[in-house]
């Protein structure tokens, strides 16, 4: 059975790929050569360090309060112990919320990255699309991310036919020409 599958691949796969033009890019290399990207990345790194320092200070204060509480615990009344525990818990909660606000999903870091890096990435994808169209490439892969599809000639897109086969009418018709497949690199 394996021999039949290997024989099929050996005979028919080259024939299927033969007429298509492929190319690749190294997005990491491209981005390293864009000064605006390097500036944006430096600003993001600086903000990240500043925000992390702010959070670390909050946790250091919590740690100091906890150690102080441990040392004085035997001298405190139950009411004072409860008050100190509550104070520490509130500070921990505030620190976690700040950390989530800065680094969480849709947090300040995400938004700053969108603000600074996304326009540069859009320019790169537009350039990939124009280059691929001008040189009539059907597919463009990203070498730096390990074979991520960045561009596909829409003439080769059979998504609408697959939907029709399933009995589903596409809500938006496929546009003619070419469209890049946008994905955010690391």
Report residue 165 CA to chain centroid gap: 33
186, pLDDT greater than 90: no
- Position 161 confidence tier, pLDDT thresholds 50, 70, 90: low
Structural domain contains residue 168:
yes
User: What does DSSP say about strands 178-180 and 148-153: parallel, antiparallel, or unpaired?
Assistant: antiparallel
Give the pLDDT confidence of 67-115 residue by residue, as tens digits.
Answer: 999 999 999 899 999 999 999 999 999 999 999 999 999 999 999 999 9
- Position 179 confidence tier, pLDDT thresholds 50, 70, 90: very low
At 150, list the tokens. 């960045």
Interior CA angle at 110 toward 109 and 115, to 5°? Answer: 95
At 123, list the tokens. 């320019």
Give the pLDDT confidence of 5-58 residue by residue, as tens digits.
Answer: 444 444 444 555 567 888 888 888 888 888 889 999 999 999 999 999 999 999
Structural domain contains residue 14:
no
Give the pLDDT confidence of 124-137 residue by residue, as tens digits.
Answer: 888 888 888 888 88
Structural domain contains residue 1:
no
Q: What's residue 131's pLDDT?
A: 84
User: What sections of 73-168 are H helices per DSSP?
Assistant: 78-103, 108-134, 159-165
**Number of independent structural domains in the chain:** 1
Report residue 170 CA to chain centroid gap: 28
What domain range is 77 assigned to?
A: 21-180
Residue 126 to residue 136: CA distance in whole angstroms: 15
Structural domain contains residue 50:
yes
CB contact burial 140-157 (16+ within 10 A = b; e otherwise): bbbebeeeeebbbbeeee
Residue 58 to residue 140: CA distance in whole angstroms: 47
Structural domain contains residue 13:
no
Residue 140 to residue 138: CA distance in whole angstroms: 7
């Amino acid at each position: 059975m394996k021999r039949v599958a290997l024989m099929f691949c050996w005979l028919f796969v080259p024939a299927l790929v033969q007429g298509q033009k492929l190319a690749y890019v190294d997005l990491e290399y491209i981005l390293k050569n864009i000064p605006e990207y390097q500036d944006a990345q430096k600003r993001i790194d600086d903000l990240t360090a500043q925000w992390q320092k702010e959070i670390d200070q909050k946790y250091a204060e919590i740690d100091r309060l906890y150690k102080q509480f441990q040392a004085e615990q035997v001298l405190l009344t139950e009411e004072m112990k409860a008050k100190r525990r509550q104070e520490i818990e509130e500070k921990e909660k505030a620190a976690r919320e700040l950390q989530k606000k800065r680094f969480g999903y849709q947090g300040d870091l995400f938004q700053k990255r969108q603000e600074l890096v996304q326009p540069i990435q859009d320019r790169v994808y537009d350039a990939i699309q124009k280059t691929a169209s001008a040189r009539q490439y059907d597919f463009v892969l990203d070498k730096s991310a390990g074979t991520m599809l960045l561009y596909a000639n829409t003439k080769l897109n059979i998504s609408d036919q697959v939907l029709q086969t399933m009995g589903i009418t596409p809500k938006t018709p496929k546009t003619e020409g070419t469209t890049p497949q946008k994905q955010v690199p690391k």
